[in-house]
Chain A
Amino acid sequence: MRRIGVFVCHCGSNIAATVDVKKVVEMALNEQGVVHAEDYPYMCSEAGQSRIAEAIKEKQLSGIVVCSCSPRMHEATFRKCAETCGLNPYLVEIANIREHCSWIHKDVEEATEKAVILMRAAVAKVHLNAPLQAGESAVTKRALVIGGGIAGIQTAIDIADAGYKVDIVEKTPSIGGRMSQLDKTFPTLDCSACILTPKMVEAASHENITIHTYSEVEKVSGFVGNFTVDIRKKARFVNMDKCTGCGVCQEKCPSKKPLNEFNRGLNTRTAIYTPFAQAIPNVPVIDPQSCIKLNTGKCGVCEKFCQVGAIDYTQKDEIITESYGAIVVATGFDTINLDKYGEYAYNESKDVITSLELERIMNAAGPTKGHLERLSDGKAPKEIVFIQCVGSRCSDQRGKPYCSKICCMYTAKHAMLIRDKYPDTNVTVFYIDVRTPGKNFDEFYRRAVEDYGVNYVKGQVGKVAPQPDGSLLVHGVDLLENKQILKKADMVVLATAIEPNPDVRKIATMLTASIDTNNFLTEAHPKLRPVESPTAGVFLSGVCQGPKDIPETVAQAGAAAVKVIGLLAKDKLKTNPCTAKADELRCNGCSQCANVCPYGAISYEVRQVNDHGIREDRRIAVVNSALCQGCGACTVTCPSGAMDLQGFSNRQIIAEVDAICR
Chain B
Amino acid sequence: MSAVERIKEISGVNPLKCMKCGKCSASCPSFDAMDIKPHQFVSYVINDDVEALANSKSAWKCLSCFACIERCPRDVQPGKLIDAARQMLIRQRGQEGLSPDEIPALLDDETPQQLLMSAFRKYRR
Contact = CB atoms under 8 A, between A and B. Distances in A.
Interface in B60-86: 67, 71-75
Interface in B27-80: 27-28, 31-32, 37, 39, 67, 71-75
Contact of A395 (B17, B20, B32): B17
Interface residues of A, number: 22
A432 interface: yes
B32 A394 contact: no
Contacts of B74: 393-396
B26 A476 contact: yes
B27 A459 contact: no
A482 B34 CA distance: 11
Contacts, number: 69
Interface in B65-113: 67, 71-75
Nearest to A480: B22
Given A395-B17, A463-B27, A458 B73 contact: no
B23 interface: yes
Contact of A393 (B19, B28, B67): B19
Contacts of B31: 477, 484
Nearest to A398: B73
Given A484-B31, A484-B32, A396 B23 contact: no
A135 interface: no
B3 interface: no
Nearest to B70: A343
A593 to B, nearest CB: 46
Contacts of B73: 389, 393-396, 398-399, 460
B90 to A, nearest CB: 28
A475 interface: yes
Given A477-B39, A484-B31, A484-B32, A461 B23 contact: yes
Nearest to A430: B26
Secondary structure at the A interface, as helix, strand, loop or mixed, is loop
Contact of A389 (B20, B21, B37, B75): B21
B20 A479 contact: yes
Given A393-B73, A396-B73, A482 B26 contact: no
Interface in A453-493: 458-463, 475-477, 479, 482, 484-485
Most buried by A among B17, B21, B24, B71: B21
A460 B75 CA distance: 15
A389 B71 CA distance: 13
Nearest to B23: A460
Contact of A460 (B22, B28, B37, B67): B22
Interface in A222-256: none
Interface in A267-301: none
A398 B72 CA distance: 10
Given A343-B71, A484-B32, A460 B17 contact: no
B25 A459 contact: yes
Q: Which one of A458, A459, A476, A477 has the highest number of Cβ atoms from chain B below 10 Å of its Cβ?
A: A477
Nearest to B68: A462
B77 to A, nearest CB: 9
A462 B21 contact: no
A462 B72 contact: no
A394, A462, A485 — which one has the most chain B CB atoms within 10 A of its CB? A462
Interface in A340-362: 343
B19 A432 contact: yes
Please indicate which of the listed interface residues A389, A396, A398 has the most CB atoms of chain B within 10 Å of its own CB.
A396
A220 B17 CA distance: 42
A474 to B, nearest CB: 9
B21 to A, nearest CB: 4
A462 B23 contact: yes
A281 B67 CA distance: 51
25 contacts: A393-B19, A396-B74, A396-B75, A432-B21, A459-B21, A459-B25, A460-B21, A460-B73, A461-B23, A462-B25, A462-B27, A463-B26, A463-B27, A475-B27, A477-B22, A477-B23, A477-B25, A477-B26, A477-B39, A479-B20, A479-B25, A482-B37, A484-B25, A484-B26, A484-B28
Interface of A: 343, 389, 393-396, 398-399, 432, 458-463, 475-477, 479, 482, 484-485
Interface of B: 17, 19-28, 31-32, 37, 39, 67, 71-75
Given A432-B20, A477-B23, A479-B22, 8 more contacts: A394-B73, A394-B74, A398-B73, A458-B22, A459-B23, A460-B26, A462-B67, A463-B26
